[in-house]
Amino acid sequence: MVKWILLFIAVPVAEVIIYIKLGKIIGLLPTLALIFGTGIAGVILARQQGFQIMNAVRREIAVGRVPGNQLIDGLLILIGAVFLITPGLLTDLAGFFLLVPFTRVRVREFLKRRIRKWIREGKTSILMRYR
């Protein structure tokens, strides 16, 4: 829990420091243009990738398969879009990393390996509620 608290403090502080230094190097207007430009580009990319994933999910369901990879990709695209909406160069980089298919596949496969490991080690549980 302490790691998460430190992360939520450290990232915004780092973002502010980066913007201050960047503003001194390239100026205020170019820095603001970069902030808005990455946000707009991120929204466009997230929308495009989101529609592609929705179509892939539909195709998988149409042929009777569970769309596992596509659902994970959809979650990663959503997380990437949230990172892009959050102002900051570090969060923008993380967001673009999750939106680009080439890098997103690597994150997805990492997550799948990690989840398989948790299952093998018994570190997961399924909570089911019955009414």
| Higher pLDDT pick, 65 / 33 | 33
Residue 125 has pLDDT above 70, yes or no: no
Looking at the predicted structure, is the pLDDT value of residue 46 above 70? yes
Every domain of the chain and the residues it spans:
34-120
pLDDT tens string 48-106: 888 888 898 889 888 888 888 988 999 999 899 888 888 788 888 899 899 888 999 99
Q: Compute the residue count for the chain.
A: 131
Judge whether residue 126 has pLDDT over 70. no
Rounded CA-CA distance 4/21 in Å is 26
- Cβ neighbours of 48 (radius 10 Å): 12
